[in-house]
Structure 1
Amino acid sequence: MAGNNNSGRRPLPANVHAIRGNPSKKSARDLSHEVQEPKLKVEAPPCPAHLSKDAKAEWRRIVKDLEILGLISKLDRGALAAYCAAWGDWKHAREKMAELEERGYVEQTPSGYRQISSWMQIANRAEERMLKVGDLFGLNPSARAKLGTGHAQQGELFPNEQRETAAKYGL
């Protein structure tokens, strides 16, 4: 059915539109009327206690930068926890594969067939989850390209932490 709510591109959040530098050349008034999203406070949610040690380390590694870029609020806790849990699963599986060497990649079934090991399957699925959820936060090159800036850089008189963090991730 044409013209329903699922048609066309998804609307961009206001902060992403601002990071891109207003490529549509719309006035601030027009943009403010189009944006129908509630204003959420940019704030890092608390790290869930159930995450593994590696997942918690990943949480601490990325949450500050997401906060500086304005890409996180307390409502994003579940999505970020899913990303960090996938990271922890992937890291654990990869460490096991390295420990098992050849057997970490290929196993032999009781009937003699060779197949992808259980650890390799776990690593592959965790990687898929990590990439899918990481896309929501701009945590891979293609997602960052969608957030890319479209405006010329100007010199600044004072340090700009948000700009520096964006430059660090290639935005």
Structure 2
Amino acid sequence: MKPGPPPTPLHLKLMRGNPGKRRPKPEPEPTVPPSCPEPPSFITGYAADLWWETAPELHRLHLLTRIDVPALAAYCHAYGQWRLAAETLTRMQANDPVMNAQLIRTKFGDAAANPLVSIARKHAADMIKFANEFGLTAAARSRLAAGGVTPPSPPSKFAGLISDGTVLPMMMKRTSPPDAS
């Protein structure tokens, strides 16, 4: 694999705009199904709720094809697992006002880091990685908007000087009267 950032899909390049005006290289594109794909059977609970919030919008933007279903399912699954771990931690924190469930007591009576903390952190990191793939974070959307349409700038005082490579006549102020010769 080549070093550097991963290649950007053609559809996202087109959404960002084409400031260089170079013709983009055609890429094989999977067809977008006529309706939003159904979630896989293992996507249940919170993950299914997120699927039905996210998938229709991604489908509308032509960012969700049948090939993308596993990646979106992984995103939704990570969300479901993160949400369960976070809710369990919240319940544990209510019973532990001193340490906020960051530490637990082992079977030997020693203090140890609560594994739910690392589980929640891991699934949150997975969610962010998958969300970036679909442009679901603010940073990913700003990268899309950064290359998109820019607001028109006010016309410059030199705006009429050059047009399509030809020089247009310019009115000059005369400081002396023209010669009568």
Identify unmatched segments of 5+ residues in structure 2: 153-181
Separation of aligned partners in 2, 1:55 and 1:145: 26
Specify the alignment match of 2:79 in structure 1.
87
Query: Which of the numbers 127, 132, 135 marks the counterpart of 2:132?
Result: 135
User: So what's the TM-score if we normalise by structure 1?
Assistant: 0.74
Task: State percent identity of aligned pairs.
Answer: 30
Considering fraction of residues, name the structure with more helix: 1
> Is contact 1:59–1:84 with CA below 8 Å preserved after alignment?
yes
SS in structure 2 of the partner of residue 147 of structure 1? helix
Match status 1:6 vs 2:16: no
CA offsets per residue over residues 8-59 of structure 1, 9 Å max, x none?
Answer: 5433222111111212222xxx22xx12x21322233320111231100000
> Is contact 1:71–1:137 with CA below 8 Å preserved after alignment?
yes
Match status 1:152 vs 2:150: yes
Q: Which amino acid aligns with 2:123?
A: A
> Is contact 1:79–1:133 with CA below 8 Å preserved after alignment?
yes
User: So what's the TM-score if we normalise by structure 2?
Assistant: 0.70
Structure of higher CA gyration radius: 2
Residue-pair matches, total:
144
Query: Which of the numbers 90, 93, 111 marks the counterpart of 1:98?
Result: 90
CA offsets per residue over residues 42-92 of structure 1, 9 Å max, x none?
Answer: 233320111231100000000011112221101011111100000000111
Match status 1:77 vs 2:77: no
Identify unmatched segments of 5+ residues in structure 1: 155-171
After superposition, the Cα gap between the structure-2 partners of 1:114 and 1:140, relative to the gap in structure 1 and judged at 3 Å, is: farther
1:21-170 equivalence runs, <5 A: 21-26=17-22, 30-31=23-24, 34-35=25-26, 37-43=27-33, 44-101=36-93, 102=96, 104-148=101-145, 149-152=147-150
1:113 Cα offset (Å): 4.3
Separation of aligned partners in 2, 1:94 and 1:8: 34
SS in structure 1 of the partner of residue 2 of structure 2? coil
Q: Which amino acid aligns with 1:19?
A: M
SS in structure 1 of the partner of residue 117 of structure 2? helix
SS in structure 1 of the partner of residue 104 of structure 2? strand
